[in-house]
Amino acid sequence: MGKGEQTRDSILDTALDQASLVGLEGLSIGDLAKKTGLSKSGLFAHFGSKEALQVEILRTAVWRFAKIVVAPAQRQAKGIDRLRALFENLLDWTEMGGIRGGCIFLAAAVELDDREGLAREFLVESQLNWLRTLTKAVLRTVREGDLGAGVNSQDFAHEIHGIYLAYHQAKRLLHDPGAKGRALRAFETLIANNR
Amino acid sequence: MGKGEQTRDSILDTALDQASLVGLEGLSIGDLAKKTGLSKSGLFAHFGSKEALQVEILRTAVWRFAKIVVAPAQRQAKGIDRLRALFENLLDWTEMGGIRGGCIFLAAAVELDDREGLAREFLVESQLNWLRTLTKAVLRTVREGDLGAGVNSQDFAHEIHGIYLAYHQAKRLLHDPGAKGRALRAFETLIANNR
DNA sequence: TAATAAAACGAACGGTCGTGCTGTCAATTC
DNA sequence: GAATTGACAGCACGACCGTTCGTTTTATTA
């Protein structure tokens, strides 16, 4: 790995963390340069535009998400175990990934939903991809017999996603200590109601 | 109502809409002045600081939410009808309220969750208040016999909230035309599973 | 209608924003 | 070890940021 690539990666590490705190738009190149010990123009040259930087931040996040949430779950037996692993990994993925400001995909979702451009397009594709992964895991769980044959896998995936969203907000905005317990409970109830 | 108050209200109408599009921080006073036909300093004098303006925007949103979502539901019979009215009003409240950028409480939640200050405090109080309203409606539904006695009203309220969050994201980020149908289905399934 | 108070304006403040351009220094390649 | 490429710094740009000030216009009250 050449020098440039190395610097670029360390910029993106810092940028991801920072963007989770202040948002993709709120993030400033000057501030990021200060935090990484580079000059503003030196940092800027790595990406060429702020939008490109934002896309790369999202790409970094996707990569980390895959490593922390998806990959370990694939090592579980297909069916309910794998689905549960996906969900439980999801709950802690930002902490595991060293991201202080919470799930950047949720932050970006509300920040970009009215904008247009490459960052939005990349985010939409990522989210669709995640929902597909979740849906597929549900479908396999049905096939394994751990969920009833009448379960609509897509609806089910969205319900799991909703539990995550509520959990995330309760934890990060309301500082609700019961958030995680409630999320786990909601997940198990959802499973139990659809056996 | 004096002239000042009148102007202030029309500023807040525009500001609420704009903040829903670009966020509470992304909103700029100069741009807002242009859109309302005022000078920057003239507008600024109404609030004294940007943070105060943000709080007033949230207050405006709360007021409108109460009028569109909560008040009509109170005219329904207590129990399942009222709970359902709350949920269904919730799904369309931003369109009904003439807010183009989606639910500002969700946008503000991810924007403010790492900040501190009056805006964050106001938002937390608002969200807790909404969850209490929802919880109370669930509790009454249990008492009316439309939900089983074993239902944990607080958990139940959070699950409804989660359905809303997933719906909102699917609609606004993914432009999923099936979002509303799925949300209504999820709600009814949740009710049916807890009778 | 005159006196008073409220509302809005215009200009300017110090800062920061994203983005160029030019030069220099260091790393890679021959 | 020289030549070439790439990484980064320094400086400047025009634009816009939130905020303050003193002044002028408009609305309210006596």
Residue B2, pLDDT score? 83
Half-sphere exposure of A48 (CA within 13 A, CB side): 3
Other Cβ atoms closer than 10 A to B11: 23
Question: Residue B176 above 80 pLDDT?
Answer: yes
Residue nearest to nucleotide C26 (CA to C1'): A3
Name the average pLDDT for chain A. Answer: 97
At residue B79, the pLDDT reads 95
Strand runs labelled E in A6-70: none
CA B145 to chain centre: 29
* Non-local CB neighbours of B118 within 8 Å, separated by 6+ positions: B51, B52, B55
Residue A166, pLDDT score = 98
Residue of A nearest to B113 (CA): A173
Nucleotides of D under 7 A from a protein CB: 6-12, 16-22, 26-28
Measure CB to CB from residue B162 to each of A109, A162, A172 and give the nearest one: A162
* Residues B111/B25, Cβ–Cβ less than 8 Å: yes
Phi and psi at B158, nearest 5°, equal: -65, -35
pLDDT tens readout for residues B51-103: 999 999 999 999 999 999 999 999 999 999 999 999 999 999 999 999 999 99
pLDDT in tens, A64-92: 999 999 999 999 999 999 999 999 999 99
Element housing B169 (H / E) = helix B153-172
Greatest distance between any 2 Cα atoms in chain A: 59
pLDDT attached to residue A3: 75
Q: Provide mean pLDDT across the span A174-178.
A: 98
pLDDT digits (tens, 9 = 90+) for B25-34: 999 999 999 9
The span from the CA of B150 to the CA of B159, in Å, is 15
Amino acid at A40: K
Q: Which residues of B touch A (CB under 8 A)?
A: 21-23, 25-26, 100-102, 106-107, 109-114, 123-124, 127-128, 154-155, 158-159, 161-167, 169-170, 172-174, 182, 185-186, 193
- For residue B142, what are the CA distances in angstroms to A63, B73, B90, B155, B195? 45, 17, 21, 13, 9
HSE at residue B64, side-chain half, CA atoms within 13 A, is 22
Tokens 């859109």 belong to B35
CB contact under 8 A, A123 and B173: yes
Kindly give the interhelix angle for A118-143 and A50-65, rounded to the nearest 10 degrees.
Answer: 20
pLDDT computed for residue A5 by the predictor: 87
pLDDT at B3: 78
Q: What is the pTM of this model?
A: 0.97
Is residue A104 a contact partner of residue A19, using CB atoms and an 8 Å limit? yes
Say which of A101, A113, A161 has its CB closest to residue B172: A113
Nearest-angstrom CA–CA distance, A114 and B127: 23
Please give the share of chain A, as a percent, with pLDDT higher than 70. Answer: 99
> How do residues A59-70 score in pLDDT, each as one tens digit?
999 999 999 999
CA dist A63 and A46 (Å) reads 19
